[in-house]
Structure 1
Amino acid sequence: MDIIEEGFDCIVSKLKEAKKDESELAGKIKDNEVLLLARMGEKAAQLVESYGLNMLLRAKNDGKGELYDTIYYDNKMFILAKSDPLPFRPDNSSMPVSDQFCVLDSEGKFFEIYYSTHEYMTDSYAEEMTPEKAVDIYGYEITFMLYKAFQQYLKEEQDLVHSLEKTIAFVFKEDSVENPA
C-alpha cells in the first residue's frame, strides 16, 4: 500500500505543479494580449488621423430627431466595438446610457464613449481606459478590428499585416475550439 500511496502523492504533486505552471502561463498570455493591443493601438494612431471619424461630443435634437448645433471631439477616432450600454454614465448617475463604444483616438489612446439622449439633447462622456481594461471588457473584437484597419490602410507594411493575420487566425481558431458556437 505504501507504493500506491507514494504513487498517488506523486501524481497529486505533479498535478499541483502543472496547475501552477498553467496559472503562470495564463498570466503571461494575458500580459502579451495586452501588450499586443497596446502596440497595435500605437501603430494605428497614425491611421486614425487620416481615416478616423469625427465623433459627436454633444448636439441639440429637434422634434424630428435631427441633430443641430453639433460639437465633435477634437481628435478623430476609430470605433472598435459596441457594448451593451451601462444603466448610467460613470460621470453622472442621473444620465442613462443609450449607446456605448470602445474607440481609439489619433493619439493611440483607448476610450469608452457613453452617449445619452434625452428630450432635446444628445451628449457623451469619454472615459480613457487602459489596453488591459479594453481587453477585459471587449475581448479580441478590438484586436480584430485594428487588424482589419491595418489590412485596409497599412499597405506599406504587409509583413506586419501577414503576421497579425496568422496571430488572429490562431487566436480565433483556439477560441472557437474552446467555445463552439
Structure 2
Amino acid sequence: MDEIEAGYAALIRTIGEAQKEKEKRAGELAGQEGALLARMAGMAAPLVGQIGMNLLKKGRQDQKGEIFNAEYYREKMIVLGKTEPMPYRPDDPTKKVNDQFCALNEKGEFVELMYSSDGQTIDSYTCPLGPEDAFGIYGYEAMLMLYRALREYLKGEEELVAALGTTVEFLRTEKKE
C-alpha cells in the first residue's frame, strides 16, 4: 500500500512540475506566437503541394446536398483551423458567411477562406492573413494542426519507405532462388 501511495504522490508531484514548466514556457513564448507560426509556415511550404488539398472555390448543390460543377483553387492548401464565421463577406456584404477557415497555401502564406451558400450555390472568398492575425483569430490550433499535418505525412512516408524496402527484399530473395 505504501508503494502505491508513494507512486501516486510522485505522479502528483510530476504533474505539478509539468504545469509549472508549461507556465514558464508559455511566458517565454508570449508575444512571439506570430513569428513562430510564420517560421513554421515557411518551413512547411515546400510540402504543402504534396500533402495539401485542392479546396472548393465554388460549385452548385443539388437537392441531396451533392456538389456538381465544382471549381477548385489551383494551389493546394492545408486547413489549419475553423472559427466562428463573420456575419458577411468583405467582398459582398449581401453574402452570409457559413464557414470560415484558416489555411496555409503552397507559397507558405496564410489565407482565410469564407464559404457562403444560398442553398443552390456554394462559393468562397479568400483573403491573405498575416501570421500574427492567423494566431490572433485561430490561436494555437493553427500551430497544432500544421504540426499534425506534417507528422501524419511523415508517418505515411515512413510506412511507404518500409513497404518499398520489404518489396525490394522480396524481389532480391526471389532472384536468388
Q: TM-score, normalised by structure 1?
A: 0.67
Distance 1:44 1:28, change over 3 A: closer
How far is the alpha carbon of 1:119 from its aligned partner? 3.1
3-state secondary structure, aligned to 2:108: coil
Match of 2:56 in 1: 56
Match of 1:103 in 2: 103
Match of 2:13 in 1: none
Q: Structure 1: which 5+ residue stretches go unaligned?
A: 1-25, 156-181
CA distance in 2, matches of 1:151, 1:51: 11
Percent identity (aligned): 44
How far is the alpha carbon of 1:102 from its aligned partner? 0.5
Answer yes or no: is 1:153 the counterpart of 2:153: yes
Match of 1:125 in 2: 125
How far is the alpha carbon of 1:34 from its aligned partner? 1.2
| Residues matched between the structures, number | 129
Match of 1:91 in 2: 91
How far is the alpha carbon of 1:153 from its aligned partner? 2.5
Q: What do residues 128-150 of structure 1 show as CA deviations (whole Å, max 9, x unaligned)?
A: 10001001111111011111123
Q: Structure 2: which 5+ residue stretches go unaligned?
A: 1-26, 156-177
Q: TM-score, normalised by structure 2?
A: 0.68
3-state secondary structure, aligned to 2:94: strand
- For the aligned residues, what is the CA RMSD? 1.8
Match of 2:30 in 1: 29
Amino acid at match of 1:29: A
Match of 1:71 in 2: 71
